Amino acid sequence: MKINFYHLLFLFFSSFTFSQNTSIKGIVIDQNTKETIPMANIALKKQSKIISGISEKTFVQGSVSDIDGNFLIDNLKSGEYILECSFIGYKTYSETINLKANEEKYLTLKIVEETNMLGDVVISAGKFEQKIEEVTVSMDVIKPKLIKSKNPVNMEVMMNQAPGVNIVDGQANIRGGSGWSYNTGSRVLVMIDDMPFLSGDRGTVEWDMIPMENISQIEVIKGASSALFGSSALNGVINIRTEYPKNKPKTEVSIFQGFYDKAKRESLNWWGDSPQYFSGVSFSHAEYKENTGIVFGGNIFNDFGYQKGVENRRGRFNFSTVKDWEKVKGLSHGIGGNFMYSHNDDAIMYTSDSLGYIPLDEDPANYTQMMMNIDPFVTFVNPLNNTKHSLKTRIFRDDYNPNGGDAAYSNIFYTDYQFQKTWEDINVSFLPFSFTHLVSTTGATRNKIFAHDDDVYGGKHNVSNYSFYSQADAKINKKLNLSIGGRYEYFNFDGEVTSVPLIRTGLNYKLLDGTFFRASYGSGFRFPSIVERYVTVKSGPVVVYPNPNLQPEGGWSAEVGIKQGIKIDEWKGFIDVAAFVMEYKDMIEFTFGMWDPGNTNVDSLYGLGFKCVNIGATRISGVETSIGGSGKIGPVDISILGSYTYINPVILNPSDVYYSYYIGDDLEEINYTDNVEEGGTSSDSGPNGNLLKYRYQHTFKFDIQADTKFFNTGLSVRANSFMQNVDGIFEDDIFNPPPGTTSPIGLNFGIRDARQRLNNGDIILDWRAAIKLNKNITITAIIDNLLNREYQFRPAYIGPPRTYTVKLDVKI
């Protein structure tokens, strides 16, 4: 009797132990290349029915493939399961499997890259992975292949090739959402890895500091996006995604040398027969080992400049690490950083049209700058309930030291917590609709800015920005994608409190196979920067005056668009057409005028200069079409990207007075029509007096690249119409005295003559060609401004002449 009892006890525990040993293990590989895929998500689910009309797949257990692509899911019960494997850029693999008790099943999961007509996967639109054709807003994606082939010296140069985007003096605008502004404010929010990358005191984009050598993808969102991303996303978002380390270590080094050609007009060539050179070196390394990823890189750049006395030198280093916890699946943490030291010279205006490469008074502003950011983060993805917790932080320090002026510094302390819940493969029926997928994103952000210096800022300035946001994205009937979200912003600027609610909504409907219709609406808001309100900036005799009364600007944008995917044999691509409108209230515009009328000092132009002012209500409407794709012609791989944008930017109340000043006892009241100068022919929309300044109404961009095994070549085209309206004083007799007369301030810029000479718009061609000596070494020749065109992207500032560059790329 005792023996039988022990036998039964042994059988009981043996059965329990064996049931716990039921497991699935295997490997994840790319079906085409046969390479193993690390960091792929493997989920085991069961189909379950919650209540009548609602069913979903219930998560049972999951795993993540290791550096060699291997995975293990153990301690399972016998039964029928649905096994799914997912990885960015690949189709989700799904298989129904039956497990027997005590079975150890081995699987080889062969996953396939997305082969849809568009192929791009984006994250910025809704803060989760989406196919670009399914997003509800206009988006463009720039791949690192184009960046490396063009060898831009910074991201500012690269973004000028993006559809609908123009960069003027570092100021980004999307579809004409802003004009020209010198080193103050930005309506386009530039982010690196989902965190803002704007300076604290100026609110400008630090283009030189962006790690060009470690970029995986650039995503451009067009239209007001403040509801999801906060202040400064009034005109759109540029999100730069850095590279994530892969299982195979990768090291790259790039060295280049170039020089400026002579301009066609001999009077511009102040350097004579000794060319002005520029050179640089960059490197990057990425690897993933033992659950730890590391990426680091750097850049050194030296430019003697085509403008006399305007030289730029910088050194930059960046790094990023991530640790994936083995004991706590889904938990990862890490830290990133970026450090830059630079010496810069800058010129606002030239001496004259004939001496256009010589700054006014040969006295450019020069300064040194030290900047750094440190970015700790932690993320937890819980596969048991499809939730994600994310905490991202950034400390941004900017030390600014002008030569002969007072040094200043500003600090940013940024924190963003986000919670995301995903309901996959649900089947919720509501009237005629069937919800199949739902993502809910909720978060809170804190942004603190400190700028302290009595001489520069006039004291201490503290800006506190708190916000709460939430967005839901649903897929209905497998064809309709709906998105709705909101944000509440709270600002405290030196005790001045402002709060504003913001909303965003949109839809995307699959009309036909490859045809997607979208419509969206979003509101935006931007608070003035510290520099716009309180800082006087001087470049030679040109002064940028502060405006302590500057008010926040807000607005909204709406659009409808259609994206048509194309797939013919080995060619795949898209055609996209969109119509849009943006309206702004209290728009802030950089304006030249008499800001210090009592000034009698010629060294500060007798009080003439620039200031940011509120000009009132404005509207920008237009259409945009873009194309993109890739394919083969015989053994040659071809890729193209192009766009055309038309805008009609107008001020709605051009006769309203927006600033005034006294000359003696006489009151001068200025409205928008008074302060613009009509150039060229009349606009089709009506009198030029209501056209917003410093904007191109027509913009065309195109890039084509051809690749073979050992050779590639490419051509970029950028064309824009004549800039119709500028500040009126630029064409006034005060700066352009008629022949035989003298300006009261002793200057003759010749801007009027220059604009009349260059009134047909601009077309700039860039060419490149590369030879691959082997799989690790490439030599590239680049000619920018191939036709050596003379062009002005704003008055009193001529763009660079033709440049020649040779670059060596080495993979180690």
Closest by alpha carbon to 523, among 472, 582, 464, 474? 582
pLDDT score recorded for residue 11: 44
pTM of the model: 0.85
pLDDT score recorded for residue 428: 64
Q: Are residues 67 and 161 located together in one domain of the fold?
A: no
Inside any domain, residue 372: no
Backbone phi, then psi, for 148, in 5-degree steps? -65, -35
Cβ(524)–Cβ(562) under 8 Å?
Answer: no
Q: Give the highest mean pLDDT range of 224-233, 620-629, 749-758.
A: 620-629
Residue 209: count other Cβ atoms within 10 Å of its Cβ.
25
Sign of the torsion formed by the C-alpha atoms of 588, 590, 594 and 597: positive
Question: Which helix (H) or strand (E) covers residue 751, if one does?
Answer: helix 751-757
Residue 262 — pLDDT band, cuts 50, 70, 90?
very high
| pLDDT over threshold 90, residue 456 | no
Q: Are residues 106 and 164 located together in one domain of the fold?
A: no
pLDDT, tens digit (0-9, with 9 covering 90-100), for 566-601: 888 888 899 999 999 999 999 999 888 888 877 777
Give the CATH number for residue 438.
Answer: 2.40.170.20
Inside any domain, residue 777: yes
Q: Return the DSSP state at 132.
A: G
CA distance 278 to 299: 14
At 622, which amino acid appears? G
pLDDT score recorded for residue 348: 84
Residues 6+ apart with CB under 8 A from 33: none
Inside any domain, residue 596: yes
Choosing from 87, 111, 135, the residue where a domain stops is: 111
pLDDT score recorded for residue 708: 94
Inside any domain, residue 739: yes
| pLDDT over threshold 90, residue 270 | yes
Number of domains in the chain: 2
Choosing from 93, 111, 129, the residue where a domain stops is: 111
| pLDDT over threshold 90, residue 355 | yes
Lowest mean pLDDT among 3-7, 218-222, 359-363, 747-751: 3-7
Cβ(359)–Cβ(197) under 8 Å?
Answer: no
Integer angstrom CA distances of residue 413 from 234, 450, 461, 552, 612: 21, 9, 14, 22, 26
pLDDT score recorded for residue 15: 42
Backbone dihedral region for residue 271 (phi beyond 0: left; psi -120 to 50: alpha; all else: beta): alpha
pLDDT score recorded for residue 481: 92
Higher pLDDT, 110 or 59: 110
pLDDT score recorded for residue 126: 59
Q: Are residues 88 and 134 located together in one domain of the fold?
A: no
pLDDT score recorded for residue 53: 46
| pLDDT over threshold 70, residue 431 | no
Lowest mean pLDDT among 40-49, 392-401, 666-675: 666-675
Cβ(570)–Cβ(631) under 8 Å?
Answer: yes
Q: Are residues 71 and 143 located together in one domain of the fold?
A: no
Burial label, 510 (beta-carbon count in 10 A; 0-12, 13-18, 19+): middle
Q: Are residues 137 and 52 located together in one domain of the fold?
A: no
pLDDT, tens digit (0-9, with 9 covering 90-100), for 296-316: 999 999 999 999 999 999 999
Q: Are residues 453 and 489 located together in one domain of the fold?
A: yes
pLDDT score recorded for residue 425: 66
pLDDT score recorded for residue 10: 43
Average pLDDT, the chain: 86
Q: Give the highest mean pLDDT range of 77-91, 576-590, 646-660, 676-690.
A: 576-590
pLDDT score recorded for residue 677: 52
Q: Are residues 88 and 125 located together in one domain of the fold?
A: no
Tell me the percentage of the chain whose pLDDT exceeds 90. 49
| pLDDT over threshold 60, residue 8 | no
Give the three-state DSSP class for 12: helix
Sign of the torsion formed by the C-alpha atoms of 132, 137, 138 and 140: negative
pLDDT score recorded for residue 64: 82
Higher pLDDT, 664 or 175: 175
Residues 6+ apart with CB under 8 A from 12: none
Inside any domain, residue 405: yes
Give the CATH number for residue 81.
Answer: 2.60.40.10
Inside any domain, residue 11: no
Inside any domain, residue 569: yes
Lowest mean pLDDT among 354-358, 611-615, 650-654, 738-742: 738-742
CA distance 700 to 115: 29
Inside any domain, residue 5: no
Tell the residue number behind the tokens 């890259």, with chain if given. 113
| pLDDT over threshold 60, residue 51 | no
Give the mean pLDDT of 324-351. 90
pLDDT score recorded for residue 49: 55
Residue 395 — pLDDT band, cuts 50, 70, 90?
very high
Integer angstrom CA distances of residue 710 from 617, 772, 808: 55, 5, 15
Question: What is the CA angle 123-128-133, rounded to 5?
Answer: 60
Q: Are residues 137 and 87 located together in one domain of the fold?
A: no
Which tokens belong to 96? 């129904």
pLDDT, tens digit (0-9, with 9 covering 90-100), for 72-95: 998 898 889 999 998 876 888 999
Sign of the torsion formed by the C-alpha atoms of 266, 268, 273 and 277: negative
Residues in the chain: 812
pLDDT score recorded for residue 311: 94
CA distance 734 to 749: 9
Cβ(543)–Cβ(592) under 8 Å?
Answer: no
Q: Are residues 54 and 130 located together in one domain of the fold?
A: no
Which residues in 387-422 are b (16+ Cβ under 10 Å) and which e?
A: ebebebbbebebebebeeeeebbbbbebbbebebeb
Lowest mean pLDDT among 98-112, 331-345, 538-552: 538-552
pLDDT score recorded for residue 665: 64
Q: Are residues 97 and 144 located together in one domain of the fold?
A: no
Q: Are residues 99 and 154 located together in one domain of the fold?
A: no
Which tokens belong to 800? 């660079």
Residue 433 — pLDDT band, cuts 50, 70, 90?
low
pLDDT, tens digit (0-9, with 9 covering 90-100), for 110-136: 998 765 545 566 666 656 677 888 888
Q: Are residues 630 and 770 located together in one domain of the fold?
A: yes
pLDDT score recorded for residue 445: 96
Range of the domain at 746: 121-363+377-811
| pLDDT over threshold 50, residue 6 | no
CA distance 318 to 465: 27
Choosing from 111, 140, 172, the residue where a domain stops is: 111
At 34, which amino acid appears? K
Tell me the percentage of the chain whose pLDDT exceeds 70. 89
